[in-house]
Structure formats: C-alpha cells, structure tokens
Amino acid sequence: MGSLDRQILRLALPSIVSNITVPLLGLVDVAIVGHMGSAAYIGAISVGSMIFNVIYWVFGFLRMGTSGLTSQSLGRRDLTSVMQSLCRSVSVALTVAFLILLMQNPIRELALRIIGPDPEIRSLAVAYFNICVWGAPAMLTLSGLTGWYIGMQNTRIPMVVSIFQNVVNILTSLFLVYGCGQKVEGVALGTLIAQYAGVGMSVCLLMRYYSRLSKYFQKRDLFKTVKMLEFFKVNSDIFLRTLCLVAVNFYFLAAGSRQGTVVLAVNTLLMQLFILFSYFLDGFAFAGEALCGRQYGASNAVAFRKTLRRVMLWGWITAGTFVFIYLVEGEWFLRILTDDVHVVKAAAEFFPWAVAVPLVGVTAFVWDGVFIGITATKGMLVSSALATLVFFAVYLLNRNNMANHALWMAFVFYLAVRSLVQTAIFVKCYKK
C-alpha cells in the first residue's frame, strides 16, 4: 500500500467510524420502536427523522462549504482565512438555528401536510418533532465545526465527537424507553440530550487542539462584504443542490406513506441499507474533500489527479463489498430491525432495488467530495437538478403500473444520472 493510500485511509477510516455511528443510531432507534408492537412507531420515527434530515440537509452547506474553503486556505497557508471560515460558519449556523426555533410550528405543519401520514403516525411524529427541534442550535453549530475539522485534514476529532454523541444517544434512549416506560418521546429526548453533549465536546476539543491558531484571527475582515459574498456564493450552489436532494428524499418518503403503513415501513427499512452504505462511502468522499481541496489550493495538479483516481478506486471497492454483504445477509439484517413478519416479507419484493443502489451511486458520492473540495459547486447543482427531474419523470410515468417499484426505479435512475453528469462536467471543465 502506497503513501497516498495511507493518507486516504488516515482521513477516510475515522470518517467512516464517525459516520457509521449515525446510521447505527438510526438503526437502534428503528429497532427500539420496531419492537413496540406496531408499524406505526416505525413510521413515526421515519417521518420525524425525515423532517429533521430535510432541515439539516438544506443547511448542509455549513459543513460542505466550510470544508472546501478551509482546505483550500490551508493549501495556500492562509491561516487567517482558515480561522475566519470557522467563525463565519458558526455565526451563520446560530442565526439559522434561531430562525428554525422561531418558525418551528409552521415548519412542522407544512412538513406533515406534505408527507400526509396516517393520524396515528402523525400524532407520534408531532411528539418527536416538538422535542428534537430544540436541538437545532447544537446540530447546525456541530455541522460547521465538522466541516472545519475536515478542511483542516482532521477527521479524528469528528470521529470522537460522533461516537461520544451517539453512545450518549443510544444509552439515554434505551434508558428512557425501557427504564422509564416512555415511547417515541424517550427516543426524541435521548437524541436531544446527545446533540448538546456532542457540540459541547466538539468545542472543548477545538479549544484543546487549535487554540494556538487564535493569534491568526482578525475580526476586522470577518464579515467583509467580499468575503461574505465568497462564502455565500459557494454555499448558495450547495444550498440549491441540497434542495434537490431534499425534494427527492422527501417525496420518496411521502409517496411511500401514501401507499399505506406497511409500504412506508418497508421503504424505511430498505432505506437503512442505503444510509448504511452512504455513510461508509462518505468517508472516502471526505478524504477527497480534504486532500483534493488542499492540492487544488496549492495548484498541485499531478497530486490532485493521482488522489482522485485512488479515492474513486476505494469507493468502488466499498460498493462491491456492500453489494456482496446485502446479497448474502440482507434478510437477516431486516429481521434485526423488526420482528414484524409481514413487513419483512413485503420488503423482500423490493430488496433487489436496494442492492442496486450502491453500484449506481458510488461515483456520485465520490464526485460530491471532490467537487466540494475544489468548490466546483455549480457542477454539483447542475447534476443534482437534472437527476431530480429524471427522478420525478420516471416515477410519475410508471407509478400507475409499477406502484412502489416505480419509486425505487426512479431513485436508482436519480443516482445514475448524478454520476454520469458529474463525470461529464469534470472531464469538460476540470480535467487538465
């Protein structure tokens, strides 16, 4: 194994460990409510979690934009810009969080109206939302901090923070549900407590390991118009691109919900396979962000191209591994999540679509990391917009004949188009 592969793994493996705690946490939440005796609990967690996924995805530029700008500043050895990127990101995060808290009731009602869950699921989802919404300041601030750490070529701190946060979440949720007799409220409260524990640890580690950089901070130019325009120019593309992703994922959930509680539960379980894969692959995407961004900022084209090829190779190795695991142990995995025989049996019909997702999505994930690192955010926006149009076209043209199969087929097409368009954009605009 060469030195470049070791560099990639040094960044990717901590990110994978960090990321894997997120889907594992979601799996634990689903597993907890999946053994409460009703598919409605699974649906409620799915609906409640999706609302917050939408919110945090929309403002995911706080991580992605900060990572790209920071890594390029580090490549230029501009430590003043490095510190200012952090401060701008956290300032915007807290402002957005305040607005979310202020508008929480309209946000909740609009989201539930769009999804249209059954009355029982709706009631449980409202209880989940009303608790978890107060974690917005912690989650958005943590997003900015994580992006900054990745830009600084440090994925170990996000790993430590994520593990700590999710261990707190799991233990607290289990205690509140099984020890105190709570249900959805216990899962939500455990999540809220862990969110603030996570951001608290992240700030402590920032002060512990990076306080020496405070001498490079210059307040004078922090909110200078030119700098803020640069920050928002990069982040506006990511924001709009994220809206496309949110539209697809939100509609996927809503379309499944309208087909009944069992279909909603099936799609929730199968999407856990996609989420599990995506967080593994994101580890290599994060490595691409950090390394390619730094090399791009330093104008090292040779190292950039070599890193790109190796990161893409590691992505395909990961995708192939997951396809094999899902083919061999897929049903066992679903039975861990729920003991509802009807849901597991219904999921088998759609399982091949979930297995196909890693193969068609691997290139899109890796390109996302590389494009973020070089702040080629316009390309990300174009590819996502085109893929979103394809998703809706494929589903709407086939839903009457294929029902839920049409939904999964549209999702596979969506990932494939993202991969193809981003490849074409890079070859045309960035390959030298």
Please, which pLDDT band fits residue 137 given cuts at 50, 70 and 90? very high
The secondary structure of 272-286 as a DSSP string is HHHHHHHHHHHHHHH
Per-residue pLDDT, 35: 62
- What's the mean pLDDT when you consider all of the chain? 83
CA angle 226, 229, 233 (to 5 degrees): 145
Please name the residues in contact with 372: beta carbons below 8 A apart, sequence gap of 6 or more: 64, 65, 67, 68, 238, 285, 289, 293, 380
Per-residue pLDDT, 343: 76
pLDDT tens-place string over residues 255-282: 887 777 778 878 887 887 788 788 888 8
pTM across the whole model: 0.74
What is the percent of the chain with per-residue pLDDT over 90, rounded to a whole number? 24
Distances (CA, A) of 404 to 84, 246, 333, 376: 47, 19, 21, 35
Per-residue pLDDT, 161: 92
Per-residue pLDDT, 199: 94
Per-residue pLDDT, 200: 95
Please, which pLDDT band fits residue 409 given cuts at 50, 70 and 90? very high
Please, which pLDDT band fits residue 221 given cuts at 50, 70 and 90? low
pLDDT tens-place string over residues 87-108: 888 988 999 999 999 999 999 9
**98 vs 102: CA distance, rounded Å:** 6
pLDDT tens-place string over residues 7-17: 888 888 888 88
For 324, other C-beta atoms within 10 Å of its C-beta total: 12
pLDDT tens-place string over residues 152-192: 989 889 889 988 988 898 889 888 888 787 878 888 898 89
pLDDT exceeds 80 at position 61: no
What is the percent of the chain with per-residue pLDDT over 70, rounded to a whole number? 89
Amino acid in the structure at residue 383: S
The mean pLDDT of 335-339, rounded to a whole number, is: 68
Name the strand (E) or helix (H) holding 357: helix 351-373
Per-residue pLDDT, 392: 94
The mean pLDDT of 238-255, rounded to a whole number, is: 83
pLDDT exceeds 90 at position 387: yes
Between residues 218 and 301, which one has the greater pLDDT? 301
Please, which pLDDT band fits residue 54 given cuts at 50, 70 and 90? confident
